[in-house]
Amino acid sequence: MAQVSMTVNGKAASGDVEGRTLLSTFLRENLELTGTHVGCDTSQCGACVVHVNGEAVKSCTMLAAEAEGADVTTIEAMANADGSLSTIQQAFQDHHGLQCGFCTPGMVMSASALLKDNPTPSEAEIREYLEGNICRCTGYHNIVKAIMAASGQDVSSIAAE
Amino acid sequence: MPKDGGIGASSKRREDVRFLTGAGNYTDDINIRGQAHVFFLRSDVAHGTITSINTSAAEAMPGVVKVFTGTDFEAVGGMPCGWQVTDKHGQPMQEPRHPILAHGKVRHVGEPVAAVVAETLEQARDAAEAIELDIAELPAVVDMKAAVAGDAPKVHDDLTSNLCYDWGFVEENKTATDEAFANAAHVTTLELVNNRLVANPMEPRVAVGDYARGTGDSTLYTTSQNPHVIRLLMGAFVLGIPEHKLRVVAPDVGGGFGTKIFHYQEEAFCTFAAKACNRPVKWTSSRSEAFMSDAHGRDHVTKIELALDGNNNFAAIRTETFANMGAYLSTFAPSVPTWLHGTLMAGNYRTPLIYVNVKAVFTNTVPVDAYRGAGRPEATFQLERVIDKAARELGVDPIALRRQNFITEFPYATPVAVEYDTGNYVATMDKLEEMGDLSGFAERRAASEAKGKWRGLGVNCYIEACGIAPSNLVGQLGARAGLYESATVRVNATGGLVVMTGSHSHGQGHETSFAQVVADMIGIDENMVEIVHGDTANAPMGMGTYGSRSLAVGGSAMVRATEKIIAKAKKIASHLLEASESDIELKDGAFSVAGTDKSVAWGDVTLAAYVPHNYPLEEIEPGLEETAFYDPSNFTYPSGAYACEVEVDPDTGKVTIERFTAVDDFGNVVNPMIVTGQVHGGLAQGIGQALLENCAYDENGQLLSASYMDYAMPRADDLPMFSVDHSCQTPCTHNPLGVKGCGEAGAIGSPPSVVNAVVDALQSGGKDVTHIDMPLSPARVWAAMQ
Amino acid sequence: MYNFDVETPGTVADAVAALGRDEAQALGGGQTLIPTLKQRLASPSVLVSLTGVAEMKGVCVGDDGQLCIGGATTHATVASEARAHYAGLAELASHIGDPAVRNRGTIGGSLANNDPSACYPAAALGSGATIVTNARSIAADDYFEGMFSTALDEGEIITEVRFPIPQAANYQKFLQPASRFALVGVFVAKYAEGVRVAVTGASNDGVFRWTEAETALASNFSADAVSGLALSGDDMISDLHGTGDYRAHLVGVMTKRAVAAAA
């Protein structure tokens, strides 16, 4: 066991971990931040995406020890300070961009990273960016729509209720 | 857009707030003080005899609590099968014993052989490697037709063969069907594979067992679509725990798609081990484990023949299907290729004679059971593919051939034992042609050709049977359970309601849509209604969510219970208003006396029920809580018409979906936004089956597609925006909401139109290709072109 | 995963020293290694993380005009910072894996692993790059030794990769539908001295140069030049996602498309 320290959602966090402890495990088990999900073991589904030093990474494919000193943000810190949904979260609700909710934390974290780099992405750019986030429920239609809406684009011409 | 809240409104989902903020409560988020973790040592061979198993080294490893093997479970039952099919000779199916941990033999890769309970999951896994396991490998059977050949190795030595059953439906029609074929003007034959799939809900399965020595109560937290069913099956048939001493909780569940219906060994193990170890025991599946332990779906090999008369009317259909059961019978496996498949072979068409033969086969593969659509996609695919092939052979328009044979009068009794109550297949096809702009296809094809791509249009219809269904009927068909649903509506003193339903929501949004229904009935804000589900300690009984049954059956139970509430509330109101009960009307959350301005608010009535100072105590009890059970009188029959346009890259064989239009008739719709989302998801899975997904084994029974590295999940850039409509509504005639079910339609309706479109595209490119087996991967399409 | 210690050196020298420990293994971005460890297919006793070695990060143009990329530079950094100098390489980097993978995965990690379906080996071989390690410089032509096999010695670290910048280059990747790795990927680069064509994803021997195509393209850098050429499917990977013949066919198609896009 070795001690690891980092900043998670703006607060200092530390704990004793094994070398093999994944960042996702550290978040879920040591810090009880269970909003970050693990849906595969081959680094493909993206349910575990968090931000490390401002960049989207798959927390199941990073060792907790590698996050020593890092600034980590998880889904639990994505809402507004008063607890209301952020623009991206609200767009997901408004446009039914989630069903079972399991992939959703990763989707929101990826969407947030995308919009930081590309404030008004096209439909194709969103679909390409989401290559590493698998959703089994929505068929992506409403996720893509929600991200376009969150970026301020007019989505009224895109079919759906 | 209809009024805010209530039936017909696209209310935003209340469950989203917790899911969007990381505050969901999925089973893997549950950690009980003192819990240990289990890792299952699974067979790495498909078929073999366990010659020795020595756990002593493992038991000495750090953190190990206890190691279990098959012998620890000799005193408990095997995994039960919930449906017994009777074969064409009137004999019951062959039903093998299905142990919790393998005993004597292993029969598929991934079968659990031993289990290590330890302080941490990694310690359990470390120790599992120290188990000395010797398996003498036996020849495996993987191919179904080979499995039923005379000299095939037997999966189960105590069964007579690998044939689970040989089912004929309707057996009495066989001779007449054969005669119709002999007299047909044209016969179209198609042999096809309905590819094996893995459901892959994004949340892998998890089970946490807990046992309280002080009370003798067991609790299981599990990723299930139907906690009551698990309680009944595991309690009564496996572990011998009476239902009042067993609580099953399915909290937030991250998708199901069928594969979380079934009772699995891991659930029984964790419940058993919690008592044996006297501490909570948790199992969390990895995705790799999920591929070899979640029940798979589909996997049919079919020959279908369509006989037509000289006027292109359908005269008869004859099919022969081999259906893979895998190594054991999963909970509802026998029903899928029979009663959920054979009964749908009429589709949307008048075909007077139909004969379906299904041979269910044991192989050394993971058990196969229901996956989104379950039997109905298999029926739809073969029917809609053979019709397309027939149209091409006859040189007629495939839409015209369908229209000519549509059922147009309802109710309609099919020759395969079901009666469609309502439908309007002409209307859905009209809408499809309009919405999909099918008349503009030629122009779009020319545009594709100009950039070097072949464009194809594929159309299909579908019918499904949902809302399973009358208990007395399914009992005759072999179900070992009733298929009603229950709901308890509890009104609080201040007027808010809690509805406890046996339906389970794992993405469908019941917490929102069910509340809309009750709010609408009473005329109150939907936020006054809370939906509680997923815990056997709350809902009285429940058969759970599958087969698109939640609103049609569970919703109907909720309506019935709410009707009882309203009836009693009217009695209270009539007392408060000093009027005759028959004059009391409920509207917009207030009771009034007809023809007067006298009224009393909903909240005043509910308060009176719990503070019965001025109350007719001699006539009715205080309180306002009612339970109803609803057992439907028939299935519901959603239907639709779908159109797919693809581009094929002639250089690589890659298929791109350019347009997809889905027109569905779901009867009445409670929340259009949610219904549309359900269709989107179904389409993605159907298109995934058609183009991407394939669960493959090699000849030795090794799983080749054992992770997302080889099992192609649809990703965002594989799919287009969908065009979806459900404005053609012929309400169901036999449930109080007039609803039909929408969860599976997209997955049932989409594969044939994709394949029809690709065949059309290849034909337009001068390739004489009449069929390609799914998935239509670039490699397969290119191979077909050569 | 089996348990292991994690070392996080800050310099190449410290990293090399740490890799001297028994059963030590270098950890780049971990995007391939960590999934491999999860399957317990490797059991290092210590993982030496290279992501904290500042001197192994970054993109610059050297005095000799070559593009120098530190071994611990992520795909995302290459995608953005190499674009002005070597667009074909940046474009390749911008399509490796997915955005989150690109934020962790490194060029050194990819080349050291030499996955037969990875993209970077095609770029390195197709560019005639030089693989610089803590001990020596290795020409790409000498570096790749077959599937998952390279000229690296135990404990040797890729500190830098130097790419001669071509007149034109393009990479065409045909995706394996599940993994999204290359079912076939072809990197074409045109230099004053000639054309290089490197193929990944296809061969049982890992990345390779398609010399017939190079010869044909040297005299006529157009898609037509390779139309008549064909590879045999016999030595190609044949699996669930495509036969050897299909891969051989795709090499031709992707080569033509790469040439057309580069020309």
Query: Do C22 and C98 fall into the same domain?
Result: yes
- In three-state form (DSSP H/G/I as H, E/B as E, the rest C), the secondary structure along B613-645 is CCCCCCCCCCCCEEEEEECCCCCECCEEEEEEE
Query: Do C172 and C143 fall into the same domain?
Result: no
Answer whether C178 sits within 8 Å of B696, measured CB to CB. Answer: no
The minimal CB distance from B202 to the residues A18, A39, A142 is found for: A39
- B519 torsion bin: left (phi>0), alpha (psi -120 to 50), beta (else): alpha
Query: Do C107 and C226 fall into the same domain?
Result: no
Give the minimum alpha-carbon distance from B694 to chain C in angstroms, rounded to a whole number. 9
Answer whether B22 sits within 8 Å of A40, measured CB to CB. Answer: no
Supply the CATH number for residue C78's domain: 3.30.465.10
Query: CA-CA distance, B214 to B484, in Å (whole number)?
Result: 35
The minimal CB distance from B696 to the residues C39, C240, C250 is found for: C240
Query: Do C128 and C183 fall into the same domain?
Result: no
Superfamily the domain A87-150 falls into: [2Fe-2S]-binding domain (1.10.150.120)
Mutate to test the interface with A, among C31, C77, C83, C101 (most CBs of A within 10 A): C101
Query: CA-CA distance, B169 to B167, in Å (whole number)?
Result: 7
Residues making up chain B, counted from first to last: 786
Give the minimum alpha-carbon distance from B161 to chain A in angstroms, rounded to a whole number. 37
For C222-242, write each residue's pLDDT tens digit: 999 999 999 999 989 999 999
Query: Do C140 and C202 fall into the same domain?
Result: no
Query: Do C101 and C190 fall into the same domain?
Result: no
> CB-based burial of residue C153 (10 Å sphere; 0-12 exposed, 13-18 middle, 19+ buried)?
exposed
The pLDDT of residue B540 is: 82
Query: Do C98 and C195 fall into the same domain?
Result: no
Query: Do C90 and C9 fall into the same domain?
Result: yes
Answer whether A56 sits within 8 Å of C103, measured CB to CB. Answer: yes
Answer whether B704 sits within 8 Å of C240, measured CB to CB. Answer: yes
Query: CA-CA distance, B177 to C171, in Å (whole number)?
Result: 58
Mutate to test the interface with A, among C96, C103, C175 (most CBs of A within 10 A): C103
Give the minimum alpha-carbon distance from A69 to chain B in angstroms, rounded to a whole number. 23
Query: Do C221 and C106 fall into the same domain?
Result: no
Query: Do C34 and C149 fall into the same domain?
Result: yes
CB distance from B581 to chain C under 8 Å? no
The minimal CB distance from B779 to the residues C3, C180, C246 is found for: C246
Pairing of strands B353-362, B314-326: parallel
Share of chain C above pLDDT 90, in %: 99
CB distance from A136 to chain B under 8 Å? yes
User: Which residue in chain C has the smallest CA separation from B782?
Assistant: C246
> CB-based burial of residue B664 (10 Å sphere; 0-12 exposed, 13-18 middle, 19+ buried)?
buried
Which tokens is B65 given?
């609590």
Answer whether B719 sits within 8 Å of A141, measured CB to CB. Answer: yes
Which tokens is B731 given?
């309400």
Residues of A in contact with B254 (CB under 8 A): 37, 39, 100-103
Please name which of B280, B221, B268, B273 lies closest in space to residue B247, comparing C-alpha atoms.
Answer: B221
CB distance from A127 to chain B under 8 Å? yes
Mean pLDDT of chain C: 96
Mutate to test the interface with C, among B123, B699, B710 (most CBs of C within 10 A): B710
CA dihedral C24, C30, C32, C38 (to 10 degrees): 70
Answer whether A144 sits within 8 Å of B22, measured CB to CB. Answer: no
Give the minimum alpha-carbon distance from B707 to chain A in angstroms, rounded to a whole number. 7
Answer whether A55 sits within 8 Å of C38, measured CB to CB. Answer: no
Give the minimum alpha-carbon distance from B713 to chain C in angstroms, rounded to a whole number. 6
Give the minimum alpha-carbon distance from C166 to chain A in angstroms, rounded to a whole number. 28
The minimal CB distance from A61 to the residues C6, C30, C49 is found for: C30
CB distance from A1 to chain B under 8 Å? no
Helix (H, G, I), strand (E, B) or coil at C203: strand
Select from C130, C163, C196 the last residue of a domain. Answer: C163
Answer whether A42 sits within 8 Å of B722, measured CB to CB. Answer: no
The minimal CB distance from A132 to the residues C2, C46, C100 is found for: C100
Answer whether C49 sits within 8 Å of A63, measured CB to CB. Answer: yes
The pLDDT of residue A161 is: 47
For B448-470, write each residue's pLDDT tens digit: 999 999 999 999 999 999 988 78
Chains that touch B (3 or more CB pairs under 8 A): A, C
Residues of B in contact with A142 (CB under 8 A): 677, 680
For C8-67, write each residue's pLDDT tens digit: 999 999 999 999 999 999 999 999 999 999 999 999 999 999 999 999 999 999 999 999
The pLDDT of residue B677 is: 98
The pLDDT of residue A159 is: 66
Tell me how many degrees the CA angle C245-C248-C249 measures, rounded to the nearest 5. Answer: 85
Give the minimum alpha-carbon distance from A4 to chain B in angstroms, rounded to a whole number. 19
The pLDDT of residue C9 is: 96
Answer whether C1 sits within 8 Å of B708, measured CB to CB. Answer: no
Pairing of strands B419-420, B497-501: unpaired
**CA atoms within a 13 Å half-sphere pointing along the CA-CB vector of B346:** 24
Give the minimum alpha-carbon distance from A76 to chain B in angstroms, rounded to a whole number. 5
**CA atoms within a 13 Å half-sphere pointing along the CA-CB vector of A79:** 16
Share of chain C above pLDDT 70, in %: 100
User: Which residue in chain C has the smallest CA separation from A69?
Assistant: C52
Q: Which residues of C touch B (CB under 8 A)?
A: 1-3, 38-40, 174, 177-180, 183, 240-243, 246, 249-250, 253
Chains that touch C (3 or more CB pairs under 8 A): A, B
Residues of A in contact with B673 (CB under 8 A): 96, 160-161
Mean pLDDT by groups of 10 residues along chain B of 786 residues: 76 98 98 97 98 98 98 94 95 97 97 98 97 98 96 96 97 96 98 98 98 97 97 96 97 97 98 98 98 98 98 98 98 97 97 98 98 97 98 98 98 96 98 98 98 98 90 89 93 97 94 97 96 94 90 95 98 97 96 96 97 94 97 95 98 98 98 98 98 98 97 98 97 96 96 98 97 98 97
The minimal CB distance from A92 to the residues B20, B674, B680 is found for: B20
The minimal CB distance from A99 to the residues B21, B677, B719 is found for: B677
Omega of the bond leading into B356 within 30 degrees of 0 (cis): no
CA dihedral B519, B520, B526, B529 (to 10 degrees): 20
Which fold is adopted by the domain A2-77? Ubiquitin-like (UB roll) (3.10.20)
Give the minimum alpha-carbon distance from C163 to chain B in angstroms, rounded to a whole number. 30
Chains that touch A (3 or more CB pairs under 8 A): B, C
The minimal CB distance from A96 to the residues B200, B254, B677 is found for: B677
Answer whether C177 sits within 8 Å of B652, measured CB to CB. Answer: no
Mutate to test the interface with A, among C45, C51, C98 (most CBs of A within 10 A): C98
Select from C163, C180, C202 the last residue of a domain. Answer: C163
For A105-140, write each residue's pLDDT tens digit: 999 999 999 999 999 999 999 999 999 999 999 999
Query: Do C88 and C182 fall into the same domain?
Result: no
pLDDT band at C245 (very low <50, low <70, confident <90, very high): very high
Mutate to test the interface with B, among A94, A102, A112, A155 (most CBs of B within 10 A): A102
The neighbouring-strand residues paired with B761 are none
Which tokens is B205 given?
């399965």
Q: Which domain holds residue C44?
A: 5-163
pLDDT band at C263 (very low <50, low <70, confident <90, very high): confident
CA B333 and chain centroid, separation = 12
Query: Do C139 and C207 fall into the same domain?
Result: no
Please name which of B232, B60, B36 lies closest in space to residue B118, comparing C-alpha atoms.
Answer: B36
Q: Judge whether A2-77 and A87-150 match in fold.
A: no
Residue B274: CB atoms within 10 A of its CB come to 27
- Listed as ranges, residues in chain A with pLDDT below 70 are 159-161
Residue extents of the structural domains in chain A: 2-77, 87-150
Query: B-contacting residues of A 75-104, CB under 8 Å?
Result: 75-76, 78-79, 85, 89, 92-94, 96, 98-104
Q: Looking at the 3D structure of chain C, how many domains does it have?
A: 2
For C139-188, write each residue's pLDDT tens digit: 999 999 999 999 999 999 999 999 999 999 999 999 999 999 999 999 99
Residues of B in contact with C178 (CB under 8 A): 692, 705, 708-713
The predicted complex's ipTM stands at: 0.98
Answer whether A56 sits within 8 Å of C100, measured CB to CB. Answer: yes
Supply the CATH number for residue C257's domain: 3.30.390.50
Residues of B in contact with A140 (CB under 8 A): 680, 684, 714-716, 719
The pLDDT of residue B295 is: 98
Select from C101, C130, C163 the last residue of a domain. Answer: C163
The full set of domains in chain B, from first to last, is: 16-22+484-630 (3.30.365.10), 31-138+202-255+260-293 (3.90.1170.50), 296-469+634-785 (3.30.365.10)
